[in-house]
Amino acid sequence: MFLPTTKQELDALGWDRLDVILVTGDSYIDSPFIGIAVIGKMLARAGFRVGVIAQPDTHSAADITRLGEPRLFWGVSGGCIDSMIANYTSLKKKRRSDDYTPGGRNTRRPDRAAIVYTNLIRQHFKNTAPIVLGGLEASLRRVAHYDYWDDRVRGSILFDAKADYLLYGMAEKATVELARTLNQVGDVRQIRGLCYIAGEADTAAVRKNYLELPPLDLVEEDKEAFTEMFYAFYQNNDPITARGLYQKHGNRYLVQNPPQPSMSQLELDAVFGLGFERAQHPYYETLGKVKALETIKFSILSHRGCYGECNFCAIAVHEGRTVQWRSEQSILAEARELTKYPDFTGFIRDVGGPTANMYGFECGQKLERGACPAKRCLYPEVCPSLEVDHSRQVSLLKKLRKIEGIKKVFVASGVRPDLVLADRQHGEPYLKEVVGHHISGQMKVAPEHSEDSVLRLMGKPPAASTLKFKSFFDKLSANAGKKQFLTYYLIAAHPGCTAADMKHLKSFADRNLHLNPEQVQIFLPAPSTYSSLMYYTGINPFTGKPIFVEKEPQLKNLQKDIIIEPAEDKTLGKRTQRTETNRMVAKRRPRRP
């Protein structure tokens, strides 16, 4: 069942007023992959009346007023992606397409969508119910942060939007707790995972137990203070060890409560058992189809979180450093449900998460005592305490492909090579299972670079890991009688990367990978990541030493051009056959999100 999005639907349900209205920068897609859909279904299961307004027209009252005013709160999200990342490329050029917009044209999501939607609500509803920010855009911008598009430090989005509260991270439990507390006229400021604005007089209790971050006016001007602030912010994201934070913005304070506890497996299974239509709401379907559904409609999310902590990636900040996985029974039940859809053709597009092979194991010490403050799970090498074990995933994949009505189950999410290599008991059976049954010609890996100096700044393992995995993959593919390829994601112009480094990467790819790379991205400084900190300050935050940062758009593009320039045949002076083969393979690849 879809949540209502029109007045006619409310009338059909016999509802005169909604408890919660969710506003999003995406179209309304009812899928477990879409945050607004999940939050809405969680609230509905808890007994609240919930409606959705997707991509409202910001120049009129028609969309934002059509469901009336909610009794408890407005929930505002920029969508599945930060709206500035959704709208602009790494070189700040406007994107023409949007996979989450009907018809695919990027014409309906405003820049800084969470701010625009909050102002739109206040414009048409004076003294309205509380406005609560959520989703990735709010989560990554909840404290002072470097904004690439303004090229400056901005304050918390809570102040910029003039919203009442902000829920960060994967906020299913926090949102339901907020609704219940507001319904009972209780004090929401005690809810974990919530940020709010406080005056000087309201911070007395907070000061006793919370950690103070350097104030906004200081971190705007002082890069050392900004680095100190970011380090404290990053280190206080674990639900077991994190302290609450507060930061002065002018004469008021941002207060961030400690994170919500991680979901239990039973709770996570319940989220995916909410019953999703796996379709775009009919009201928005009339405006055009959404490309995102091509990938997610018949895919299964098996886990969330990531212990990779790559410095350029925001997953650890938003989803957490603890990996939570669903039970085998829950995933198999979802797969059986997929076979009942009339348009299901027998192919599950993906079973995975942020990284495919992080299902079914975690560090026991982390689960008991929280993430290590001075050590990472995978960098500079896989920590022995993690006890990597792919056996659960092997068992799951074998059972999935035996379900009646399923022809093939793909593992399309990227695979982490160092985890496969670290699992001496089950790494080979896992790779053999995937190579033999769960890819169609290619497997995605993300070495990102070849040069150790750049890889260290990225928080990625050395290139030797990629080469060892490639040899392993090639051998197992040959044993299976299949001609298959690895797809390598690479990054140009990351902090610390020079044109000379890209030439070395080009040589490495030609000499060792035997290809001309196609999947190359220019680094984009996402808010609240270590790499964006490096980009802004020009300093390695782990050593305090200056690093080179390419900031000229033309020279960033040149770094990319160095690596994608076709290899030349020394005798014929033209593209090699392997370059053309890889180009044909690339045409079939899904675009990297």
Beta-strand (E) ranges in 55-116? 73-77
313 is in an annotated binding site: yes
Q: Are strands 252-256 and 194-199 parallel, antiparallel or unpaired?
A: antiparallel
Nearest to 329 by CA among 275, 283, 272: 272
Both structure tokens of 287: 């405006």
Opening angle at CA 121, ends 279 and 3, nearest 5: 25
Token look-up 């280190």 returns 235
Q: Is 29 helix (H, G, I), strand (E, B) or coil?
A: strand
306 is in an annotated binding site: yes
Question: How far is residue 433's CA from residue 476's CA, in Å, rounded to a whole number?
Answer: 10
Token look-up 């206080």 returns 236
Cβ-based neighbours of 170, under 8 Å, separated by 6 or more: 263, 304, 318, 319, 320
Contact present, 26 and 34 (Cβ < 8 Å):
yes
Question: How far is residue 208's CA from residue 205's CA, in Å, rounded to a whole number?
Answer: 6
Give the DSSP letter of residue 509.
I
Cβ-based neighbours of 550, under 8 Å, separated by 6 or more: 493, 497, 498, 556, 559
Give the DSSP letter of residue 88.
B
H or E element at residue 325: strand 324-325
363 is in an annotated binding site: no
Give the DSSP letter of residue 214.
P
Q: What is the DSSP string of 136-173?
A: HHHHHTSSSEEETTTTEEE--HHHHHT-SEEE-SS-HH
Sign (positive/negative) of CA torsion 55, 350, 31, 47? negative
Nearest to 268 by CA among 42, 43, 22: 42
For the purposes of burial, counting CB atoms within 10 Å of the CB of 132, is it exposed (0-12), middle (13-18) or buried (19 or more)? buried
Please report how the helices 35-45 and 172-183 are oriented relative to each other, as an axis angle in degrees rounded to 10.
40
Burial 490-528 (b: 16+ CB within 10 A, else e): bbbbbbbbbeebbebbbebbbeebebbbbbbbbbbbbbb
Question: How far is residue 548's CA from residue 347's CA, in Å, rounded to a whole number?
Answer: 46
Q: Which residues are annotated as a binding site for [4Fe-4S] cluster?
A: 306, 310, 313
Q: Which residues are annotated as a binding site?
A: 306, 310, 313
